[in-house]
Structure formats: C-alpha cells, structure tokens
Amino acid sequence: MLNYVVRRIAYGCLVLLGVNLATFFLFFTVNTPDDMARLNIGGKRINQEVIDKWKAERGYDKPLYFNDKKSGGEKLTDTIFWERSVSLFALDFGRADAESAGDIGHEMATRMGVSIQLALPLFVLQVIASAAFALLLVMLRNTRLDFWGVVACVLMLSISSLFYIIVGQYFFSRVLKLAPLSGYVAGWDVVKFLVLPIGLSLIARLGGEARLYRAMFLEEIGKDYVRTARAKGLSEMLVLYRHVLRNALIPIITSAGSYLPYVFLGSLVFESFFGLPGLGAYAIEAITKQDFAVVRTMVFVGSLLYIVSYMLIDVAYSWADPRIRLS
C-alpha cells in the first residue's frame, strides 16, 4: 500500500508539472506581458510608461523563462516562470493581475468557506439520494414505476443545469417567494440562500447518477450470493441494502470521488447565478476580467485536487472490496 501511494504521488507530481508547464506556455503564447497590461488597464490612456509601471508592479518586467544576465546581482531564478509558475508548487499564488484585485491566496482562503458550504451538503445529499432512488427503482424493477423512473432519469440527464436554474429561480423565488433569488450572508441565515441552489443542483445531477447506480445494482442482483441470501429467507429490502449495495460500492466511490474537487472549487454556474462569493464565482470573475494569474492558479489547484481525489478513490477501492490489492 505504501509503495503504491508513493508511486501515485510521484505520478501525480509529474502530471501536475505537465499541466503547469502547458498552462504557462499557452497563456504567454496567446498574450505577452504587454498585451496583459493593455487588457487590464482597459480604456485608460495607455502608453509604454504606464505599461512598464503595470508590469513592474506585478513582476512581469522580468525575463519570461531564462535570465541571461550573469552580473548585476540578479539571480537565475529571477524570471516570470519561476515567480509565477514554479511558486505555485509552494502554494504561493502571488498577486492577481486585475487593478482592484489583491493577494490570490488570501482571496481563495476567504472564498473557500462559501464553496464548502454549498458543495459539502450537496456532496452528501447527492450520494444518498442517488443511491436510494436507484435502489427504489431496482426494488420496483420490471414494473411501470421502474419504467417511468428511468424515463425521469433520462429527462433530468438531458436537461441543461441552466434550465433548472432559470425555472427554479422564477418559480421558487419570484412566484412562490420561498427562497431569495440570489445573495449571501454569513451565519445561520445563509441556509435560506443555499437551499435553492443545493436543491436545483441535486436535481440536475440526480438523473445521471441514479441511472448509473441502477445499472450496477441490476448487475449485482443476478449473482449467486444474492440468490443465496434470498434462499436464507432475507427480505428483498435487506438483500438490497445489506448485500447488493455493499458489493456495488465501487461505482459509487468512483462517482462520488470524482465530485470531491467541487467541494473546494465550488460550482462555477450555480455560484455565479445565485450571487455566492465562492471560488467558482471567483474563477468566472477572473475569466471575465481576463485575469490570467487567477485563472492559472485555479487550473493548478483544480488539477491538484483531481489528483488527490483519484488517489483517495484508489485507496477506498481496497476498503470497499477486500479482493482489490494496491501494489
């Protein structure tokens, strides 16, 4: 197990390094530091002096990849790549490019709590609701209710999350006035602002997850151990919950684990539409402002979280199924 984890960490570092290099190369191929200065300064009167000042304030006045100056007291590491890309591995995110933005690390630490408040309850409810709905369909298999349940899953899977947001905001906020249209407050009052986005996001993901779980449960109920459990006189509910559910944990762990990065990064669409100041909204704002420093940081953090989550998934496999050995 330990050797496997060490190898996965090494592979993950290589993947993270590749993502970091590709992101840095692409960003500075599309835009030079002068172009980035012009984009962020915007409609103000622009001249080379203003551009040079903007670059000096953010460290973009240095060489891009290599420092050829051997004298003058400058270090070989005094480059844009070292200070704005390599530093990400030390979780030193630096300053944002936008005029009004500050330290990226401080901003992310402030916004992370909002994203967790949205995504963590959604993560737990998603797993419980999807598994429970799928087990219900399996209990009612080969009936009309099972057929219409599958139809409902396909419909939910086919509809864009934007549709759920627009209809949900209109119906629950404007017509019934059961929840605020958008906004955020600290403290326990935040619940009324999170109920609607959590509920709509749950519905948007329920169809695909429940359909996947149903297929895996149906595969399990035809196996010998299930017939043996029924022959012992166990009820269908006990067979499903005690045996089938446990032996079908692999796809559930895979699906749930792949959602873990959203617990920290938040939902880009839902945070933006509901005015929640989380990491997802922060990323959208950075894209709108063409703040490349923030976008590069979010790509790096997202890649890191995906690598960690899939490592946890592999470890969880050996817990869910003793036949799986990590070596």
Q: Which long-range contacts does 40-45 make (Cβ < 8 Å, 24+ apart)?
A: 40/97, 40/98, 40/99, 40/289, 40/290, 40/291, 41/99
Q: Domain tally for the chain?
A: 2
Residue-number span of the structural domain to which 10 is assigned: 2-90
266 & 120 share domain: yes
190 & 287 share domain: yes
Residue 28 inside a domain? The answer is yes
CATH assignment at residue 289: 1.10.3720.10
- In sequence order, the 6+-apart residues with CB closer than 8 A to the CB of 256 are 123, 126, 127
What spatial distance separates the first Cα and last Cα of the chain, rounded to whole Å?
6
Domain boundary, last residue among 39, 59, 90: 90
Length of the chain: 327
Q: Is the pTM of this model over 0.85?
A: no
Distance, CA of 216 to chain centre: 25
User: Residue 169's closest CA among 198, 195, 196?
Assistant: 196
Residue 98 inside a domain? The answer is no
The C-alpha R_g of the chain, in whole angstroms, comes to: 25
DSSP assignment, residue 100? Answer: T
142 & 222 share domain: yes
Phi and psi at residue 66, to the nearest 5°: -125, 145
84 & 113 share domain: no
Residue 222 inside a domain? The answer is yes
Residue 270 inside a domain? The answer is yes
245 & 273 share domain: yes
What is d(CA 246, CA 41) in angstroms, rounded to the nearest whole number? Answer: 57
Alpha helices in 79-160 (DSSP H): 80-84, 104-139, 144-158
Residue 82 inside a domain? The answer is yes
* C-beta atoms surrounding 265 within 10 Å: 23
Sign of CA dihedral 97, 98, 99, 103: negative
User: Residue 92's closest CA among 78, 82, 100?
Assistant: 82
* 8 A C-beta contact, residue 291 and residue 40: yes
Residue 101 inside a domain? The answer is no
DSSP assignment, residue 103? Answer: B
The one-digit pLDDT tens for each residue of the chain (327 residues) are 677 778 888 888 888 888 888 888 888 877 777 877 777 776 566 777 888 887 887 778 877 776 655 444 455 567 888 877 888 888 888 888 776 667 888 888 888 888 888 888 888 898 899 889 998 998 888 899 999 999 999 999 888 888 998 999 999 988 888 888 888 888 888 888 999 999 998 898 888 888 888 888 888 887 888 888 888 888 878 888 888 887 777 778 877 777 777 666 667 788 888 888 888 888 888 888 778 888 888 888 888 888 888 888 877 777 766 666 666
DSSP assignment, residue 51? Answer: H
51 & 132 share domain: no
83 & 120 share domain: no
